[in-house]
Structure 1
Amino acid sequence: MRLQKIIVLALIAVFVSLPLVTYAADQKADLTSEQIYEKRMDLYKKVETLTSVPWQYLAAVDTYERGLRRALNDRPKEDGFISIYFSENEWAGSLNPNKQDTHPLSIQMFGGIGLDGDGDGVADRLNDEDVLYTLAHQFEQYGVSEEDFRIALWEKYKRDQSVRIVHGHALVYEKFDRLDLNDHAFPMPLNYNYSYKNTWGDRRGWGGRRIHEGTDIFAGYNVPIRATAYGRVEIKGWNKYGGWRIGIRDLDNIYHYYAHLSGFEKGIEEGSIVAPGDVIGYCGSSGYGKPGTQGKFPPHLHYGMYRDNGRLEWSFDPYPSLKQWERKAYQDRKKKK
């Protein structure tokens, strides 16, 4: 037994002392968006073939963590095509004296999770294929059904909201069967009369002192309200502040809040998958009271945006995004003439 222990320690010492081998991530600077999507899909499909984990599960986690990198200050920007993040302790093992260890055997000895996904004998925490394969291997241990996926997500994030968001991303990818789902639409058709200004942060008095967490777009009753992004309906129903409202989560982990509706579009339910421009409801003046309360203010859409960072969610000013989407809609209309 003592001899075995000496041999193991000797092997560890050898592996830890070997020079660190690193491989530069693929450069994205000169690639088009279409080429980047193609490269990512190639990676997802390759790992799906190796592990049987559906590509949309891998894409959903990658997309979620791409949003986290934008929202968190303690995560570096990804260099490669994959945004999934493992800490040094997770990858190499918390007791591993070499936190940059890339040798699969010594990583395994110290309880790390890092694996060699591209067959080069190196388990590199900054290598796209190694990272994606390591994630898929974790998920594969739970199974490949939808329920197995949700269980694996819980074990990874230990947060119900994160599970819901990532699962929703997977359903969006499953429906559209592609990655280029970043288009947006202005929430009202341009051929209707509407007006708006930046009202985010204004004081509100009804229901207690609070700030206005959105932009009000004034229009007539029953003007169609449209989804601004690809996403999944997380909530639909009555809110005493927002009246009849819908909440949709997009692939940037952003929650889009549509309030004061007069009603909902037929077929739109919690769990519905929507695309930019899909009608989801109609402009109204509902809210500020019990279910059914109408007419306490002029008809308008209250549009809010909330970002999730994996720990909490906060509102941010939607006005710049609305102006950008509106300009794009006018440009697209001119091109069609």
Structure 2
Amino acid sequence: MMVKSCKILLSFFLLFSAFPCSVDASDKDQEASDKLHLYETMETLTGVPWVYLAAMDQYEKNAHAAKNKKEKSGKKRLTSIEVPSSLWAGRINPDPDDRVPESIAFFQGIGKDANGDGKADPQDDLDVLYSVASFLAQKGLKEEQIRERIWDYYKHPTTVDVITHIAKIYARYQTLHLEERRFPIPLQYNYTYHNTWGDRRGWGGLRIHEGTDIFANYGTPVLSTCYGYVELIGWNRYGGWRIGIRDVNNNYHYFAHLNGFRKGLKKGDVVKPGDLIGSVGSSGYGPPGTAGKFPPHLHYGIYKFNGKSTYSFDPYPLLKKWERQAYLKWKRKKRRHRSASSETTHPIHSSTKKKHDG
């Protein structure tokens, strides 16, 4: 057994030393590259698909953003997974801060020494990821077996779904660079909106408006705002025909009062920013098929799950930001098109300029 463990550690060091982890890098691309290498290394060692580790890491980063691991440990952490002491050291371990791998194993804790320093440190990225990956692999590597272990770890059904859905997004695109966002209405269509989050609503009981209404004509295309997993699609008596999409930052994007859905779109699909998902309508406030009780518009909301409950937050500032980004992108595209047209229209001038520049 000891020989096998040494071989695992040796393989780990060979893999990791080839691509050192730049935990001090300020560049987001480098940080994402370092993280991906860590995840893939753990997949090589344990067989657990890297996407589950990435999803757990991202889930904890967003669900527990108020906790600063760097300040707590005095170390700079690349990852955000924080294993509870009872799980790390063992529930019946008299020393919740135990760092000795042998005694942790005796008390059935999950903490392991991955970097060979003789300690199982819950504030060390390598120890944490290897310990968590080993925990996830204990019952097998099929999706349902890993889901079961995620349940054993968090004991919350919503958390299991959120993490596995985020994992499916990573699996679809095979990258951590999934931060792009899009405005939900194409700019060439007529629309208008203002900040309506928190306004009073009376139908179905007194409540607040948990979103922003974007008024547009019937049939105006509605686009996905993010890389995401379609968690819900269908009828809701408040939202009519609606779609719910979970992104990798644990945001749930809610599109309601639709006229219909893109043909073939279904629960479990993975979409990207700008994908057509439906069209503007006036459905809702009643049983399936109810429509026309209010002007056509898209109700767009964002919700987040914090590990215990789900809450909404104002999407208006984000919508303004995405609209501005879409407009700037359109202007740059138009400028490039004009430049290309000018060169095509005046080929002699263009070639002369190139010769002079040469």
Same fold per superposition (TM over 0.5)? yes
Partner SS, residue 221 of structure 1: coil
The answer to whether the 8 A contact 1:181-1:230 is kept is yes
Structure 2 spans left out of the alignment, 5+ residues = 1-20, 71-75, 336-358
The answer to whether the 8 A contact 2:219-2:259 is kept is yes
1:85 and 1:291 map into 2 onto residues whose CA distance is: 44
The structure 2 residue matched to 1:261, chosen from 258, 262, 266, is 258
Partner SS, residue 305 of structure 1: strand
The answer to whether the 8 A contact 2:22-2:30 is kept is no
The CA deviation at 1:241 is: 1.0
Structure scoring higher RCO (CA < 8 A, sep ≥ 6) equals 1
The answer to whether the 8 A contact 1:240-1:289 is kept is yes
Question: Does the alignment pair 1:60 with 2:52?
Answer: no
Question: Does the alignment pair 1:159 with 2:151?
Answer: no
Q: Which moved more, 1:107-116 or 1:207-216?
A: 107-116
2:87 and 2:289 map into 1 onto residues whose CA distance is: 51
The answer to whether the 8 A contact 1:226-1:279 is kept is yes
Residues 77, 194 of structure 1: CA spacing in aligned structure 2 closer, same or farther, 3 A cutoff?
farther
The CA deviation at 1:158 is: 1.6
2:82 maps to amino acid: Y
1:76 maps to amino acid: N
1:260 maps to amino acid: H
- Counterpart in the other structure of 2:98: 101
CA displacement 1:221-262 (0-9 Å, x = unmatched) = 111101111110111111111111001111111111100000
- Counterpart in the other structure of 1:5: none
Partner SS, residue 165 of structure 1: helix
The CA deviation at 1:77 is: 4.0
The structure 2 residue matched to 1:144, chosen from 141, 144, 153, is 141
Question: Please, what TM-score do these two structures have when normalized by structure 1?
Answer: 0.87
1:112 and 1:235 map into 2 onto residues whose CA distance is: 37
1:156 maps to amino acid: Y
The answer to whether the 8 A contact 1:69-1:77 is kept is no
The structure 1 residue matched to 2:115, chosen from 112, 118, 129, is 118
The answer to whether the 8 A contact 2:194-2:213 is kept is yes
The answer to whether the 8 A contact 2:22-2:34 is kept is no
The CA deviation at 1:155 is: 1.1
Q: How does 1:1-337 map to 2 (within 5 A)?
A: 28=23, 30-70=25-65, 73=66, 75-77=67-69, 79-96=76-93, 98-336=95-333, 337=335
1:265 and 1:176 map into 2 onto residues whose CA distance is: 21
Structure (1/2) with the larger helix percentage: 2
Partner SS, residue 190 of structure 1: coil
The CA deviation at 1:335 is: 2.2
The CA deviation at 1:29 is: 5.5
1:270 and 1:127 map into 2 onto residues whose CA distance is: 38
Question: Please, what TM-score do these two structures have when normalized by structure 2?
Answer: 0.83
Identity, % of aligned positions: 52
Partner SS, residue 170 of structure 1: helix
1:60 and 1:303 map into 2 onto residues whose CA distance is: 25
2:232 and 2:286 map into 1 onto residues whose CA distance is: 19
Query: For this pair of structures, how many residues does the alignment match?
Result: 309
The answer to whether the 8 A contact 1:217-1:301 is kept is yes
2:111 and 2:155 map into 1 onto residues whose CA distance is: 20
CA displacement 1:61-93 (0-9 Å, x = unmatched) = 1111111122xx5x3345422111112332233
The CA deviation at 1:285 is: 0.7
Q: Give the aligned CA root-mean-square deviation in angstroms.
A: 1.6
The answer to whether the 8 A contact 1:27-1:80 is kept is no
2:24 and 2:285 map into 1 onto residues whose CA distance is: 49
